[in-house]
Amino acid sequence: MGLSADRLRGGDSRKLGGLSGEKGLQILVRRSKLSNPLTYEDIKSKVPVKQGVELGIEGDNYLVGISEEKIYSLSLSAFYVWQLCDGSRNVEELVSHVMQDLKESSQEISESELKEVLTLILGQLHEAELIKFSEE
């Protein structure tokens, strides 16, 4: 799935929060700080497990439903992360997996930046009830 570091950086909040790009990420970080966000240290040993089902694609967005009343439109980055939440790896292992995917596609992002972005994506997916965390 053609994930790029640029899309991961800016696309994580595009559909869940209605924001895109660097400014969108800054606003997302500000918003998250107001709503008691998850921290990487809090979740690194937890195992994210996706909830809901993939319903299809609408434009550049992926539709995921929890129920008939709760359908979310995810950006490529959020959908990619949601798909990886299959219960087989904890968040720390998820970071390693995404780093490897990005290296294989010749994309560059620092590990600390990736941890921050993935924590934000996972936090939004969790808040939307699209993932649940279980202990390892």
pLDDT in tens, 54-106: 999 999 999 999 998 899 999 999 999 999 999 999 999 999 999 999 989 88
pLDDT at 21: 38
With contact defined as beta carbons under 8 Å apart, do 49 and 131 qualify?
A: yes
Top pLDDT among 30 and 35 is at: 35
Instruction: Domain of residue 103: give its range.
Output: 5-135
Average pLDDT of the segment spanning 21-38: 49
pLDDT at 37: 76
User: What is the rounded distance in angstroms from the CA atom of residue 3 to the CA atom of residue 98?
Assistant: 9
Total domains in the chain come to 1
pLDDT at 136: 58
Taking each helix axis as running N to C, give the angle between helix 76-84 and helix 91-104, from 0 to 180 degrees, rounded to the nearest 10. Answer: 130
Residues 6 or more apart whose CB falls under 8 angstroms from that of 118 comprise 40, 81, 91, 94, 95, 98
